[in-house]
């Protein structure tokens, strides 16, 4: 199978290692912030997508999840 974002060959899961790391970082960030900000997963993603410092890989993941 291939990564659904970049088409790289992968053994399992939905994402390649690079996008997988970005996804894990997103999830860990959410665990940290959801109590402080009181945001749902989707609200968190939408907010992060607007932040200038958010990386390209992370934005690709966000677009995939929200899309």
Binding site for Zn ion (CB under 5 A): 3, 5-6, 16, 19
- Concatenating the DSSP letter of every residue in 10-61 gives -SSSSS-HHHHHHHHHHHHHHHHHHHHH---HHHHHHHHHH-TT--HHHHHH
Smaller CB separation from Zn ion, 39 or 64: 64
Q: How far is the CB of 23 from Zn ion (least distance, A)?
A: 10
> By C-beta, is 22 or 45 nearer to Zn ion?
22
Q: CB 36 → Zn ion: shortest distance, Å?
A: 30
């Amino acid at each position: 199978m291939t990564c659904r974002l970049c088409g790289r060959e992968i053994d399992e899961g939905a994402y390649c290692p690079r996008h997988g790391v970005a996804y894990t970082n997103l999830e860990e960030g959410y665990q940290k912030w959801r109590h402080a900000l009181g945001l749902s997963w989707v609200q968190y993603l939408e907010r992060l997508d607007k932040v200038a410092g958010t990386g390209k890989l992370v934005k690709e993941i966000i677009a995939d999840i929200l899309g």
